[in-house]
Amino acid sequence: MIALPTLTPLGWMTLRSGPTTWTLVHEKVRRFLEEDAAEGGPLLHTFRSYVASDLNVKLAARRLHLHVNTARYRLGRIAERTGLDLRVLDDVIALHVAAMLYEQRSEGGGPPATAPD
């Protein structure tokens, strides 16, 4: 049970998404989320800090107690693995929404289903 006043509109939309929504996430992004989760999620943790820091790498690194070059390296690895440019707002939003969908679906009993071939 979740109190509605604690949800953002984006949080509500990801909670109300259906199985088709996950299939709209690009395969490279789905694969990245699954692989990073299996590795303990260090890259996604860095990305979330980057988003929470208003896309300020220095602030994200400080919050994570990392050297700024380590944070930049991790964000670069995300870009390589997903094909997204994390300096472009649309790409940041796409990964942020995909990560929220992945988390919500994973909490629902296992990893999200992949798109049929």
pTM: 0.78
Average pLDDT over residues 92-113: 76
- Higher model confidence: residue 98 or residue 22? 98
Chain segment 54-78, per-residue pLDDT in tens:
999 999 999 999 999 999 999 999 9
Give the pLDDT confidence score for residue 114 in this predicted structure. 45
DSSP code string of 4-52: GGG--HHHHHHHT--HHHHHTS-HHHHHHHHHHHHTTSHHHHHHHHHHH
Contact 42, 35 (CB under 8 A): no
For residues 72 and 24, the answer to whether their CB atoms sit within 8 Å is: no
Report residue 19's pLDDT band, with 50, 70 and 90 as the boundaries: confident
Residue 112 scores a pLDDT above 80: no
